[in-house]
Structure 1
Amino acid sequence: MSVRQSTSEPALGGHTVVITRPAGTGSSMARQVRRFGGVPFLLPGLSLREVADPAQAAVALAAALQDDLLVFTSPAAVRFATRLASLRTHATVLAVGQGTARALRLHGVSEPFAPTQRQDSEGLLDHPALADLRGKRVALIGAAGGRGVLRTELAARAAQLREVHVYRRAAPRWQKRQLGAVAALPADARVLLSSAEALGCLRDGLPAKAYAALSSAIAVVSSERLAEVAREAGFKRVVVAASAMAADLLEAAAR
């Protein structure tokens, strides 16, 4: 990891770092924050849950594994998919980001492709395998909702598209002590944001006093698109990271 650090002062300098990743997924980043001298604060923006009918999802996934191309939208998509079926397939497998590709390799997919520069839907759509999809069977594996960029563009490129929802997103449940801690956040806290949907849940679900304190802190976002969303949601100070990867978000938080 490349977060800058001098011999005299940790890179994060004792700043509070708010981790908004989905409930149950932020512990690894919290350890990294501590390692580089920050104070982690877990405030999930989403809760990830299994779909209402796992048996039906398993049947849909088994059919999708026979398609020409599989597109996994997130590490969560990989994690929940493996609960339904083995990911053995002869299809070309693509991932929206390096984190998703790493999850695929951990579950036996040897050569998934993921963009290295722009790690988002737009970056993935630049891959030559997705340039001309006429007659190709393409499965988009993830959750319902989201921005819909992949869904719209893959259909526009004439793919025979199927969507397989292997998990669902829901609003998180915060404890009273979390809400009190949010309301007392220092102004120099860093808020790590990599999902517009999570930010929306925080904006709509937190008490007004707590959200006012959160949006008065420094937003560290994973893309220029999300920077615009954060500003519209009330953040006045926004820093853009190179990607949604933990190393890039913490690098930006240390600036």
Structure 2
Amino acid sequence: MTHPRPLAGRTIVVTRPAAQAAPLAEAIAAAGGLPLIFPLLEISPVADLAPVHAAAARLAECALAIFISPNAVEHAWPAIQAAGGWPAGGPIPAAVGQGTVKALAARGVHGCIAPTERFDSEALLALPALAKPAVDGKKVLIFRGDGGRELLADTLRERGAQVDCIACYRRQGPSGGVAPLLAAWRGGQLDALTVSSSEGLRYLVDLLDAEGRTYLAETPVFVPHARIAENAQSLGLRQVVLTDGADAGLLAGLHAYNWPHDE
């Protein structure tokens, strides 16, 4: 019989950026868990917004506008609004994940193309709308964070597209230090982490001292993508649990996990 509160008494760290942490934290709490929100990435607008406004002004000239994340939508949208909103008959909107599709839909942009299973650049590039016949000679805008992966842009350029990458937000590691995590670990009150960013995980490892890294290496870390799992293992984490994508996959993985001393 399935326990109605499968995470009862378990403290689970939610590491999504602050603006996106609530849905997973609430789902963990509903399952009896104790969510500890500890964003590994802090998101802020880029210092120079002129390129974002310039890109928004030429949306109508483009065949495709790709948004890498909900953060990209949030931080590009003021410029798009200032330029008159989403152009009628404008570019096909595209996204890497379903959270970004929802962020666009909430702003009235529908018909977004996105992968339905794996949520990464590789899956997006596999869609017919990004194949060479569809993009050859066409203008493409990619709205993303600073320092994002180059695979998407490079591959589209190889397929003949004219690609502009627009950094509309910046990411940095936690500015407040890791004391809350260390305190929870030392008190035996940290059962698992959910991690949805390889970059955020690297920030965490860099911030931890030897004691903290020892704790992290032995703590179950739930990740929704194989690439993050590989990076976690390369950083010395020994209990990496690969789940299905997005919050729903992380939550299902937490529910299914064989927690120690579980009756």
TM-score (normalised: structure 1)? 0.90
Is the contact between residue 69 and residue 91 of structure 1 (CA under 8 Å) also seen in structure 2? yes
Q: How far apart in 2 are the matches of 1:220 and 1:156?
A: 35
Is the contact between residue 145 and residue 169 of structure 2 (CA under 8 Å) also seen in structure 1? yes
Equivalent residue letter for 2:114: A
Equivalent residue letter for 1:253: L
Q: How far apart in 1 are the matches of 2:188 and 2:139?
A: 50
Equivalent residue letter for 1:129: A
Equivalent residue letter for 2:71: A
Change (3 A) 1:188 1:205: closer
**C-alpha root-mean-square deviation of aligned residues, in Å?**
2.0
Equivalent residue letter for 2:207: G
* Unaligned runs of at least 5 residues, structure 2: 257-263
Is the contact between residue 9 and residue 32 of structure 2 (CA under 8 Å) also seen in structure 1? yes
Could you tell which deviates more after superposition, 84-93 or 115-124? 84-93
Q: Percent identity?
A: 35
Q: How far apart in 2 are the matches of 1:241 and 1:92?
A: 30
Instruction: Name the counterpart of 1:25.
Output: 20
Change (3 A) 1:175 1:238: closer
How far residue 19 of structure 1 moved from its aligned partner, in angstroms, is 0.8
Q: How far apart in 2 are the matches of 1:65 and 1:49?
A: 27
Deviation above 3 Å: which 4+ runs of structure 1?
185-188
Aligned residues: 249
How far residue 219 of structure 1 moved from its aligned partner, in angstroms, is 1.1
How far residue 111 of structure 1 moved from its aligned partner, in angstroms, is 1.2
Larger Rg: 2
Q: How far apart in 2 are the matches of 1:163 and 1:110?
A: 22
Q: How far apart in 1 are the matches of 2:7 and 2:25?
A: 12
Given candidates 39, 46, 55, the residue that maps to 1:60 is 55
Change (3 A) 1:187 1:34: closer
Summarize deviations over 1:44-63 as a string: whole Å, max 9, x none. Answer: 11111101112342122322
Could you tell which deviates more after superposition, 68-77 or 52-61? 52-61
Instruction: Name the counterpart of 1:81.
Output: 76
* Unaligned runs of at least 5 residues, structure 1: none
Given candidates 147, 165, 168, the residue that maps to 2:167 is 165
Instruction: Name the counterpart of 1:232.
Output: 234
Instruction: Name the counterpart of 1:247.
Output: 248
| SS of aligned partner of 1:12 | coil
How far residue 78 of structure 1 moved from its aligned partner, in angstroms, is 0.5
Q: How far apart in 2 are the matches of 1:185 and 1:123?
A: 41
Instruction: Name the counterpart of 1:105.
Output: 105
Equivalent residue letter for 1:10: R
Summarize deviations over 1:208-247 as a string: whole Å, max 9, x none. Answer: 322332232111111112111111112111111111x111
TM-score (normalised: structure 2)? 0.87
Q: How far apart in 2 are the matches of 1:188 and 1:210?
A: 12
| SS of aligned partner of 2:166 | strand
Is the contact between residue 13 and residue 190 of structure 2 (CA under 8 Å) also seen in structure 1? no
Q: Does 1:144 align with 2:149?
A: no
Change (3 A) 1:254 1:177: same
